[in-house]
Structure formats: C-alpha cells, structure tokens
Amino acid sequence: MKYFSFLTFNLLLFANGLLLPSNAHADDSNFAAGVAALNADGFDAKEAAIAKLAAIDHPRVIPVLKAMLAGDLSSRKEDDRIVIVADHPEGYRLTDVVSGEELGVAGKRDVSKVRINNSIRGLLRETIASLSLSNPDTKIRLAAAGELLGNLDVESAAEVRRYLDAEQHPRVRVAMQAALALVDLQSEDPHTVIGAVGVLRGNLHPQVRGALTRLGEHDDPEVRRHAAKALSSIQTKLDFYSFIETLFFGLSLGSILVLAAIGLAITFGVMKVINMAHGELIMLGAYTTYAIQQMFPNHIELSLLMAVPAAFVVSGLAGVAIERGVIRFLYGRPLETLLATFGISLILQQLVRTVVSAQNVTVVTPQWLSGSWQINPVLSLTYNRLYILIFALMVFAGLMALLRRTPMGLQMRAVSQNRAMAKAVGIRTEWVDALTFGLGSGIAGIAGVALSQLTNVGPNLGQAYIIDSFMVVVFGGVGNLWGTLVGGLTLGVGNKFLEPMSGAVLAKILWLVFIILFIQKRPRGLFPQKGRAAED
Amino acid sequence: MRGLKRLREFVRRDLSRDVAASAALDTSHGPILYLEGVTVSFDGFKALNDLNLYINDGELRCIIGPNGAGKTTMMDVITGKTRPDSGAVYFGQLIDLLKLSEPEIAEAGIGRKFQRPTVFESHSVFENLRLAMSANKAVWATLTAQLSGQQRDRIEEVLDIIGLVGEMHRNAGLLSHGQKQWLEIGMLLMQNPRLLLVDEPVAGMTLQETERTAELLTSLAGRHSVVVVEHDMEFVRSIAKTVTVLHEGRVLAEGSMADVQNNPEVVEVYLGE
Amino acid sequence: MRGGPITRFLLNDRGGTIMLSVLLAVAVLVPVLNLAVPADSPLHLSTYTVTLLGKYLCYALLALALDLVWGYCGILSLGHAAFFALGGYAMGMYLMRQIGSRGVYGHPELPDFMVFLNWQELPWYWLGFDMFWFALLMVIVVPGLLAFVFGWFAFRSRVTGVYLSIITQALTYALMLAFFRNEMGFGGNNGLTDFKDILGFSLQSDATRVGLFLASAIALAAAYLICRFIVTSKLGRVLIAIRDTEDRARFVGYRVENYKLWAFVVSAVLAGIAGALYVPQVGIINPGEFSPLNSIELVIWVAVGGRGTLYGAVAGALLVNYAKTYFTGAMPEAWLFALGALFVLVTLFLPRGIVGLLNRRRMKRQSGRHDAQTGAAHDDQHAEQSA
C-alpha cells in the first residue's frame, strides 16, 4: 500500500508553502467550518474538504484526520455537530473535534458516521503523512518518518526526498533516508542499490532484513556481496541486542531471586536460623497487595506503594510472632528449627486456602508498570521487570545501610558475632533476635509485593521460591549479603543463558545440580566467612 | 570376586592404608615430629608464622604461651584439621602429615586430646574406650567386629590407669569434667599412639586430680612421645623437662623450665600481657 | 551386650520385640480375615483395607530407612522420597512392560504414553525391565547408586547439618522437575499406571493384594532385623559416635565420610525397596512422589515416633499415616493444619517422640529399683540421654 500519489503531493506542498508564513495563529472558526465540510455529500466533495482542511494550520487537524481514517468521526443528529466517538458500554463517548472536550455519552442511534471510501482512506493516509512530515513538532515528524519505512513507492519517494532536503533534524533525516534507501534497493542501477545497502547497514527493521535477504538473488555479484555484508552486520547487531535482552531477563530473574533470598540471608545468614516458612512470608506479602487493592479499588495506581510498607508490617509481625512463639525455644538446634518452621509453613498455606481461597487471586498491574520501553525494533524492556530490578537493588542498598549505619544494625551484627559478649555489654539479645527475624520476614513480605506483579498469587506461591532462595543464600555464602546479591544475579543470568539451549525446566535442573556440586566443592559458598569462628 | 575386590580398592583408594602402613615410622634421626616453616593465616592474621618445632622420640614436651600464641592452631595443623599456607610437617622421617586426612593421621600413630573434653557422650565409658581402640576401622570390618578377650583385658587395663573402673558402664555424658578429661586420655591410650597431643589436660581439675594427671603423663613418656599444651605453670613445672614458649605464632624460647623463666623476652611477653 | 552376635540384637529390645510380634499377628490375621472370612461377615476385612495396611507397612519401611541415617547418624535427609520414588519407578517400569499389548493402543512393546508421544521404539533404559529379576536388581541399584554418588561428593566435602538437608531437598526437587518432562520417558505428568499383573498374578485379585501385603510385612520385619543388627554392632556405635561428636570420631581414626556414605546407601536401598512394594499396591507412580513435601512428611513420621529408636520410626509412620487417612476422610481442610501443628509441637515438646516420652516415664518408674542399670546395649537409653 502506497501512501502518496504524485498529484496530491504537489497540492499539499503548494498549500503548505502558502500557509507557512501565517502559521502562528490558530483559527478555530475557520477550522470548525473545515471540519463541518468533511461531512459534505458525495465523496468528491469530501476529498476537496480534506485538502482544504489540510491547508489550515491548527493543532487538531492531524487528530481529526486520524479519527476520520479510523471511522470514529460522526455527526451528532440533534445539531449536526461533528464529533469524535469512542466505544462506551451505553453507546458512544463523544469528544468535540475542535476543542477536544468531552461531550458526554450518546446512544448509538444519536449519531451518524462520516462515511468514507477506499479512495478517501488513501487520501487521508497521504495527507496525514505529509502533514506530519512538515509538522513543526520534531516528535511528530520522527514518528511519521519512521512510518515511511517499507510504505513508499518510487513516485512518493521523490516527494519524500523534497522533505528530506528541507529537514534539519538528524534523526528524522536518518529515518527518511532509511525509508528511501529501501525503495532504492529496487533500482535497476547497481550503484544506487549498493549505495542504498550502505545506508541500510545496521538497520534493525525486519523489512530491511527481508529486502536485503532478497538481494541475495540479485544478478550483480557486487550487489550480492554488499548485501551479504550488510546482513551480517545486522546479524551482529541482532545478536548483540538479543544478548542484551537475555542479560536483562537474567538480571530480572536474578533480582527476583535476590528479593526472595535476601530476607533469608538475614534470618539464615545472620541468625543461623533455618526458616522454611520464608516462602509463606513472601506469599503473605503478595496477599497483602491483593488485600490493599481490594480495599482501595479506586487507587490501583498507588496500591503498590501502599502495599510495600503494609506487606513489610504484615510479614514482619508474622515473623516476630514465629520467632517469639517457636524459634526462640529452638536456638542451637537447626534441624529442629527447620522442621518446626516447615510446620508453620504448612499452617500458613492452609490458612490462606481456608480464609481467602484455594484458587489464585488476581492482582492488578498499575498503568505505570505495564507496557515496555521500546529501545529499537528488536529490543524492548518491560517496565515491570525493569522496576523490580531497580526495586531489588534499592531494597538491597537500604538493607546494607540499615545493617552498617544504624545502631540497630550494629546490635544485630554484635549478637550474630558473639551472643554472650553482646549480652554482657548490655544488648537485649532477645529483642535483637526478634527484630532481626522481623526484619528478614518483613523483607520477604516486600518481595511478595514485587512477585505479585510477575507470577500468580496463590497459596503455593511461597513453595516455588523457598528452595531457590536457599540455593541463592548457600551459593552466595552464608552470612554475607553481598554474596546473596552476586549469587542471585549470577544464578538468574546463568539460568536465562542456559534456557535457549536446554529449555526452561532442564535449565533449572541443571543449575540445581550445579549448586549441589558447587556446595560440595566450596561448602561455604562464593564468599565464605573465614577464620576460626567459621569452623564452629 | 577378585575383580570386584580390585574395583572396590580402586573406588576407595583414598582409604588405602599404604601410606600409614608401609612407611614405618622412622625416628632414626631422633625427632619424631618435624614442623618446619609452618605458616597459617586467617584473613590476614597469622596464627602461625614460620613456626619451627621438633619433638624427640619418647620426649615429654610442654608448650606454653599467652592466648592467641597459636598453640591450638599448631595442634590443628599436626592432626590435619587445618592445612597450613606453607611449611612442612613430618611424622618421623618419612610420613608427610600434610598429605594425610585426620583419620589417616590418627592411624599413623598420633592421638589428640581436645581443649574441651570431647568424648562420645551417648556411649558408656567402656564403649568409648572400645571405639578408640586401635583396630581395623574400615566400615565392613567394624560391622562384624567382635570384642576379643585380649581386647577386653586391654580396655580394663586402661580403665584401671585412668581410674574409671567403677564408672565403666556409666554414660560418658554423665561423668564429671575431670573424669571426662581422663576418659579422653584413656581413649588416646587405647589408640596406642606414638605421639600424644594433649591440650590443657588439667583445666577444671582438682588439685588431687591434677597430681594424678601429672603422674600419668610422666609415666607415658618414654614409650610414647607426649606434647602437652597447658596454662597452669605449676603443673608444667611439675612435669616438664623441656619447655617451648610460643608467641605470635612462632617459637620464642625453648629450654628447661628454669632457662625459660629467666629468659628476658619470655618475661616481657608474660608480664607485658 | 554379652550375647553372641546373633542373639545380642534381640535382647534388650522390648519395643522391637513388641513390634515384631504385632507384625507377625497382623500378618497372620489379615490374610485370614480377608480371604477366609466370607464377605458378608462383620469380621471380614475388605481388600481396600488390606491394601491400605500394606501401604502403611511400606511407609513404615521408609521411615525405618530414614531413621537409620537421621536417628543414628545425624544426617537429616530431606530427599529420601527420591529413593522411594526411584525404587517405585523401577517396579513401575516392570509392571508397565507386563501390560504388553493390553494397553489402550494395543502396542505389543511400547507403553501407551510412548505410543501417544509417537515414539518408535523403547528407549535403551527401558530394556530389561520386562524381567522381574532385573527390575528387582534396579530397585536396589538405582537408589543405591544415586545415594552413593551423591553421598560420595557430599560427605567427602563435609557438607553437614542443614546444608546437607537443603541440598538433599534440592536433589529430590530437581528429580521431580526432571520426571515431569515427557522427554525423560517415564510418562511425564501422569507417571506410570494402569498396571495389569505382577509375575502373572492379576493385581486386581484379592489373593495378589494379600500377597503384596505379606511381602511388605516380611520386608519390614527383615529390614527391622537388618537395621537392628547394624545399630547394635560396633558400626552402629560408630554411627552414633559420629552423630554426637564427628571430630572425635575422626581423630580416633574413623573415616567418617565412609561410614556416612555406607549408612546413606543402605538407607537409600531400603527406601527403594519400600517404593517398589508400594507401587503395585497403589497402582500408580508419578513425579509427585519426588515432591519435597513427601520427604519432609516422612521426617515427621520419624520425629513423632522417636528418632534413634527403630521401632519408634515404625510406630510413628503408622500413627501419622493412620491420622492422615482419618483426617483426609473426615475433615480434609484440617489435615494440613494438623500436620503443621504436629511439626511444631513435636519439635517443641517431644524432641524424642512418643517412644522417648514412654521411655522417660518407664525410666522414672524403674529408677527407684534399678540404679544405673547396666545399659551398655540399651538403645533407647542412648537416645534418651543424648537428648
């Protein structure tokens, strides 16, 4: 489908040239009249009206033409006013064409559509494109130039070249040149083709790759050589970006592992307490997010921000309760602690099943977390993973600061290093134990908030993460938060690089086996604690 | 069957007894234990710093030194618990202790008593001695092992030496601190070692018990070589012929008790504390 | 202790003697009540119950296996279900091959799921499983070999305590993930099922069910005697010594890693046998058996009964499983609450299990009469005092 025909192009150039000097003031009444003419009887009249409207300098011209192209332009029966319609359960939601104001809801029968045919559609596309290419707003020009790629024929290409001559902005120029080069690939002249290949070198657009691949059958060997070279340079770039993408997925998985494990690194690493209910504390955090969303259905955008402290408190209190109620009687008996906390994890799971439901619940993703950041045609990073990666690093940094810089952190480290001495210098070790455990549990809750955005929230959520978390802590080296960070990220990245080769399940099995072997080689993990104290 | 046996030997070659058995203890040059240039560091802290120490066959040697001088680390190195960063440790002329595991070292003829008495608390005194007794300690042999009359006599003999005849059926966990110390020494005797390493044998003992321990250790010297690490100066004075002073991971002084006590450096280290 | 090698392990074993007598009585009564008593008599034992009891006996055998390593050697394995499941799969493969052309697709050689996956021929590791003796060999070899390889690495590098527990859990978890895969050739999700007969006897018939029940009872009794022999031998003493003071054992000259490895392998083989007896009775084996939850449930059986006493492990397995059957029938919601509470309460209040509790009371009663009983060979006493 070609957007431009020779004739309309000249017309438009002419119109734009005329209007350029006076484009400083917008004329609403003139524009309103032009819009009204769009609903003229007969398609010829409509075409004329479109051309006329295109000549008017008004910021709403492009939106209106786009609405017309989409078939959303209608006339309201009661006053023949032209409006833009959008679907609504009770009919249409109306927007004023001129001001963009909401006009309320109308029934489907209260409006009639401005009808268009294929010829008008073509004209609309061309008009929108050329208006966009000459628009003073660089963003609009850039978007329009990007649209050109693969949508030009030889004739319209000549017109684009004129825009190119007038264009100053380098990025818009590059986009236009790429679109033109794609047209030039079909040229008879091998030199033109080779020149175009040179321009397209490194372009990641799939159409470019397709066109270059087709050049592999070109008659001229020189062309074939250049095309092959350009393709391989594109392939190199593709490989690079797919590497970046895998790395990102790996870091994302790693950040989740770190989030899940970091609380455990505190309870297991610092306090030497095995908490098998850690996964369930994560689950509680995820359910807290769900509860917050249920309580404030009108503030979904803010729900996660509210859920973070709430989950910290809920899981943290649960942790303190577990520590005071059970674990403190079992200090120095790690295997018994393991069993007792496993029992607690069963109880918590069943509690959620009984109180909430055995089914998974739906946690809504706020707007700002959905979508993705499109870096180029082949690389896009989803916002939720990106934010969770950043969030994990923030939690880690915060925790480090807490342990290193606050009196509470000092006391925690003191108790973990020498309980008797800490007691002797007046630290209330019982309180420190409870608070440390609460802290680790609270962080598990925060991890649950993040996980609620990535996985299903159900009673078994914690089960899926407990073994992984232990692996991360053990791999990183017990008692070393840095080890947990490095271990988690390493495992995440390693896993994602393995996956394409072996499949997801096998990758997971392989890294479990790897860790099993690794622990046997280095029983104290990546970053072991050293010295005689570590022998005990 | 023969093939199977060979396979078993291959799979478990790490337990082959060659090292200990074939290299008979050669003490022809005098010393039974050589530590040369031994250095151990933990996170930059040098627990042992180029330590050189020789123990003669049949000698009773006392090792003293302030806290942190490296006494326990030295025992850890000799018994294979800690591997040094550098240095050589030989048992007799031929046996390189750094190549052996803890059980192999025990089998080669070195027994060790820990600082804190460590016995098998769920077992009776009798069982403790039985388990320590030198015997084939491979798994299958242990499964079918029967106590011979001779072995029983030996156990009873040691029970007599350590004065626990009346307690032989009590669980070791129920013994007093001093009795546990003796039981541990008794276990060393059952191993019939050439060299005994004894870490703080009289800690927590009454005066009488201390005296008896001194007698016991003195009587062992000659047939066995004995290395005693002790804080109790009176006790050291009562048993020692030769005393070695460790300080900051190396030998500060060596000689008779009188020599050592008059050594100005030693005095400074002890009084400077 | 003064008995000969044969008699010594039955002396001083009140709990064990009681257990074996009860087992003998049940082994006689069950076949009679099921086969000889007419179905309409109130004394008749349904085949369902026979199978249920048989299942319990397999669990008891599994608990015995775990107790050997945990109770006596201090190795808390959270992956014993893996050995159980591997034994079960080995038996399941034999039973699958016995189906022959009676499967849904009627293929003479390939099991249904392979036909379904469009496989053309039997994978090499399925060869030989049409022979009962080979399957039996594999029931022993496969779990034993896995335990050997795993333990070889683990014990040599002195991975102990919780670390060991966690990596055993990872082991069974990894195996579970692997067996879920269709490509593995073990039936994926659904596992192996639809068995028809064993050694030519139909699995549906009452007599076969009773036969399997008896086999389980015999296996349990034999395993009990073997374990009893082990723990009362000098080797058993060494295991306990290692459990309590690993360092001392090493400095006395025992190669601790070899002892642990030996016990671990023996235990894995027993677990594998339990699995092999279990599968024909329940009629299915699937990857769910590898689930870490199963392993840890098994730990609680032993903990409830009393670890460090063999009959305690057996009693614990029977008790907990009876409770499970009861709860899941009467109040399914409550079972996980009850199980969870059991974990917490037993570890807090009954560190030595029910046997420990009973012994303590018995000891109290006796302490007036027997002062310092010469209990060198008294297992339960050891267990008691190391608490």
* pLDDT tens sequence across B245-270: 888 888 888 888 888 888 888 888 77
* Residue A346: both structure tokens together: 């069963």
Q: Which amino acid is at C202?
A: S
User: The whole model's pTM is what?
Assistant: 0.81
C177 contacts in chain A (CB < 8 Å): 505, 508-509, 512
Q: What is the pLDDT of residue A102?
A: 78
Chain A partners within 8 Å of C340 (Cβ)? 343-347, 350
Question: C57: which strand partners?
Answer: none
Residues of C in contact with B79 (CB under 8 A): 251
The arithmetic mean of pLDDT across residues A430-447, rounded, is: 91
User: Which long-range contacts does A179-188 make (Cβ < 8 Å, 24+ apart)?
Assistant: A179/A145, A179/A148, A179/A149, A179/A150, A179/A151, A179/A152, A180/A152, A182/A149, A182/A150, A182/A152, A182/A207, A182/A208, A182/A211, A183/A152, A183/A153, A183/A154, A183/A157, A184/A157, A185/A211, A185/A212, A185/A215, A186/A154
State whether residue B191 sits within 8 Å of chain C by CB. Answer: yes
Q: Which residue has the higher pLDDT, A175 or A320?
A: A320
Provide the pLDDT for residue C229.
92
What pLDDT, on a 0 to 100 scale, did the predictor assign at position C259? 96
Q: What is the pLDDT of residue A393?
A: 93
Asked if pLDDT for residue C274 goes beyond 90, the answer is yes
Residue A531 has pLDDT above 60, yes or no: no
Considering only A211-215, B233-237, C280-284, which range has the smallest mean pLDDT? Answer: A211-215
Report the range of poorest mean pLDDT among A33-42, B47-56, C77-86, C186-195.
A33-42
Using one digit for the tens of pLDDT, what is the confidence trace for C146-158? 999 999 988 988 8
Residue pair B108/B66 in contact by the 8 Å Cβ criterion: no
Lowest mean pLDDT among A21-35, A67-81, A309-323, B85-99: A21-35
Contacts of B45 in chain A (CB under 8 A): 531
pLDDT tens-place string over residues A329-386: 988 888 888 889 999 999 999 999 999 888 888 888 888 888 888 877 778 888 888 9
Q: Do C253 and B107 touch (CB under 8 A)?
A: yes
C10 band by pLDDT with thresholds 50, 70 and 90: low
Q: What is the pLDDT of residue A277?
A: 92
Judge whether residue C184 has pLDDT over 80: yes
Task: Kindly tell me if the per-residue pLDDT of C287 is higher than 80.
Answer: yes
With bands split at pLDDT 50, 70 and 90, how would you rate the model's confidence at C378?
A: very low
Contact residues, B window 102-131, toward C, CB-based 8 Å cutoff: 102-103, 106-107, 111-112, 114, 118-124, 126-127, 130-131
Search chain A and give the residue with CA nearest C332: A350
Minimum-distance CB partner of B103 among C234, C255, C383? C255
Q: Say whether residue C114 is in contact with chain B using an 8 A CB cutoff.
A: no
**Residue A528: is its pLDDT beyond 90?**
no
Q: What is the ipTM of this complex?
A: 0.85
The CA distance from A127 to A149, in Å, is 17
Identify the closest residue of chain C to B147 by CA–CA distance: C234
Catalogue the E-assigned strands of A278-378: 372-376
Structure token digits, residue A157? 């290409």
For residues A224 and B243, the model is more confident at B243
Interface with B, mutate which of C7, C228, C234 (most B CBs under 10 A): C234
- Is the pLDDT assigned to residue A1 strictly greater than 50? no
Chain C contact present for B167, CB below 8 A: no
User: Is the per-residue pLDDT at C231 higher than 70?
Assistant: yes
Shortest CA gap C44–chain A (Å): 37
CA dist A457 and C41 (Å) reads 52
Query: Quick one: pLDDT at residue C377?
Result: 38
pLDDT tens track of chain B, all 273 residues?
Answer: 566 666 555 555 444 444 444 346 777 777 889 999 999 988 778 888 889 999 988 889 999 888 778 888 899 999 988 889 899 999 988 888 998 888 999 888 999 988 888 899 999 999 999 999 988 888 998 888 888 889 999 999 999 988 889 888 999 999 988 889 889 989 988 988 889 999 888 887 888 888 888 888 888 888 889 999 887 788 888 888 889 988 888 888 888 888 888 888 888 877 654
Mean pLDDT, to the nearest integer, of C267-290? 96
Judge whether A506 is closer than 8 Å to chain C, CB to CB: yes
pLDDT tens per residue, range A121-134 = 878 877 887 777 77
pLDDT at C17: 87
Q: Which pLDDT band holds residue A7 (cuts at 50, 70, 90)?
A: very low
Residue A527 pLDDT exceeds 80? no
Mean per-residue pLDDT, A68-81: 81
* A-chain residue closest to B46, CA distance: A531
Share of chain A above pLDDT 70, in %: 93
The answer to whether the Cβ–Cβ distance between B118 and C385 falls below 8 Å is: no
Q: Average pLDDT of C125-138?
A: 94
Identity of the highest mean pLDDT range in A183-187, A522-526, B240-244, C215-219: C215-219
Average pLDDT, chain C: 88
Residues 197-236 of C with CB under 8 A from B: 230, 233-235
- In B119-154, which positions are buried (b, 16+ CB within 10 angstroms) versus exposed (e)? bbbbbbbbbbbbbbbbbebbbeebeebeeeeebeeb
Give the residue on B whose Cα is nearest the Cα of C226: B143
Q: Provide the percentage of residues in chain C whose pLDDT is more than 70.
A: 91
pLDDT of residue A318: 95
* Gyration radius of chain A over CA positions: 32
What does pLDDT average to over chain A? 81
What pLDDT sits at residue B4? 63
pLDDT of residue C180: 92
Residue A140 token pair: 């609009």
Quote the CA–CA distance of C117 and B66 in Å, as a whole number: 74
**pLDDT of B2:** 62
Reply yes or no on whether the pLDDT at A17 is more than 80: no
Amino acid at C112: D
Dig out the tokens for B158 from the structure. Answer: 């040691």
Name the most confidently modeled range: A301-315, C77-91, C369-383.
C77-91
Is the predicted pLDDT of residue C90 greater than 50, yes or no?
yes
Strands B195-199, B225-229: pairing kind: parallel
pLDDT given at position C368: 55
Whether the per-residue pLDDT at C212 is higher than 60: the answer is: yes
Question: Is A336's CB within 8 Å of C154's CB?
Answer: no
B102 CB within 8 Å of a chain A CB: no
> Cβ contact (<8 Å) for B169 and C374?
yes
What is the mean pLDDT of the segment spanning C168-189?
90
Question: How far is A526 from chain B, CA to nearest CA, in Å?
Answer: 15
d(CA C267, CA A369): 52
Q: Do C300 and A354 make contact, defined as CB atoms within 8 angstroms? A: no
Write out chain C residues lying below 8 Å of B185, CB-based. none
Q: How far apart are CA C382 and CA B170, in angstroms?
A: 11
Select the residue of C153, C162, C344 nearest A344 (Cβ to Cβ).
Answer: C344
Give the closest-approach CA distance of C339 to chain A in angstroms: 7
Q: Is C284 a residue whose pLDDT tops 90?
A: yes
Task: Starting at the earlier edge strand, list the strands of the sheet with B250-255.
Answer: B110-113, B195-199, B225-229, B60-64, B242-247, B250-255
